[in-house]
Amino acid sequence: MSDHGQAPQSSARRPLVVLEKVNKHFGALHVLKDVDLTVSEGEVVVVIGPSGSGKSTLCRTINRLETIDGGRITIDGKDLPAEGKGLARLRADVGMVFQSFNLFAHKTVKENVTLGPLKVRGTSGSEAGKRADALLERVGVASQAAKYPAQLSGGQQQRVAIARALAMDPKVMLFDEPTSALDPEMINEVLDVMTGLAKEGMTMVVVTHEMGFARRAADRVVFMAEGRILEDTTPEEFFTAPRHERAKDFLSKIL
């Protein structure tokens, strides 16, 4: 459950995702600049900021879809290996949901959810199937289990993507603008699933422009601009008294 009003970066809880002085370049472009971020068990951190500020790159470095050129990232105390089985296992601890669903088009909804546990976790077929049924029920798409992704609405596909990530039993879930590609009437069905996860204590990093969700579900709001974290504070603080001009300017444009 979220502890609204608590001091940021409470030391009482186990740090699950820790970034220390993380730097990332794409050629000459310095995309992440000395990024320090700690996400503790059960925390919901919403990351916001202008387009191009490095939010997606931040998410992608956390599960090694991108390498880093400096600094350190640990997941539950372990360094991320660059490759191999260790990477697959650690990546399985970090569930990721993208803007563009990214479901396997030639697999059914249920197969999309069972595939990871079968291949990476070594779960038995019957166990993976049972778990998939339960997860599809939980995100409200159980009746679509035998269909293919293209037969589903965008909101349904994104809920399947969430179920697929949860099937790996991740320690932390990353969401990169999960509702940005959805028609407006489907946004809430996805945000409702995410709010449910937050309430159940899932550790979450959520890049979103949905400020209602940030106010409702976030323990902390992290504001990024030009590759730097400029603010890392409670939603109350951020929305009522942002400290940086960049943050004030950003809020004035989206609120």
Rounded to whole angstroms, the Cα distance separating 223 from 74 reads: 21
Instruction: Answer for the pair 129, 114: CB distance below 8 angstroms, yes or no.
Output: yes
| Residue among 49 and 170 whose Cβ is closer to ligand ADP | 49
Q: Which is nearer to ligand ADP, 51 or 126 (CB)?
A: 51
- Percentages of the chain per state (helix, strand, coil), in multiples of 5: 40, 25, 35
Q: Among residues 98 and 238, whose Cβ is nearest to ligand ADP?
A: 98
Task: Quote the tokens at residue 228.
Answer: 């730097």
Phi, psi of 251 (to 5 degrees): -65, -40
One residue of 7, 26, 36, 124 binding ligand ADP per CB under 6 A: 26
- Largest separation between any pair of C-alpha atoms in the chain: 55
Which residues ranging from 4 to 33 are in contact with Mg ion (CB under 5 A)? none
Candidate residues 40, 56, 156, 234; the one interacting with Mg ion per rule CB under 5 A: 56
Q: What is the nearest approach in angstroms of ligand ADP to the Cβ of residue 224?
A: 7
Pattern 45-84, ligand ADP, x by CB under 6 A: ----x-xxxxxxx---------------------------
Nearest one of 208, 203, 204 to 182, comparing CA atoms:
208
C-alpha 156 chain-centroid distance: 18
Minimum separation from the CB atom of position 45 to ligand ADP (A): 15
Give the distance, in angstroms, between the CA of residue 157 and the centroid of all CA atoms in the same chain: 16
DSSP letter, residue 255 = -
| Range in contact with ligand ADP (rule: CB under 6 A) among 25-33, 117-125, 146-154, 183-191 | 25-33
Q: Shortest approach of ligand ADP to residue 49 CB, angstroms? A: 6
Please report how close the Cβ of residue 129 comes to ligand ADP at its closest, in angstroms.
36
Residue 233, amino acid? T
Measured from the CB atom, the residue of 152 and 206 that comes closer to Mg ion is: 206
The whole-angstrom separation of Cα 93 and Cα 39 is 14
**CB-nearer residue toward Mg ion: 47 or 202:** 47
**For residues 82-141, which are near ligand ADP according to CB under 6 A?**
none
Question: Residue 107 Cβ, how far from ligand ADP at the closest point, in Å?
Answer: 27
CA distance 241 to 35: 22
3-state secondary structure of 125: helix
Region of 28 (left: φ > 0; alpha: ψ -120 to 50; beta: rest) is: alpha
According to the binding rule CB under 5 A, does residue 38 interact with Mg ion?
no
> Least CB distance from residue 51 to ligand ADP, whole Å?
4
| Binding footprint of ligand ADP on the chain (CB under 6 A) | 26, 29, 31, 49, 51-57
| Binding footprint of Mg ion on the chain (CB under 5 A) | 55-56
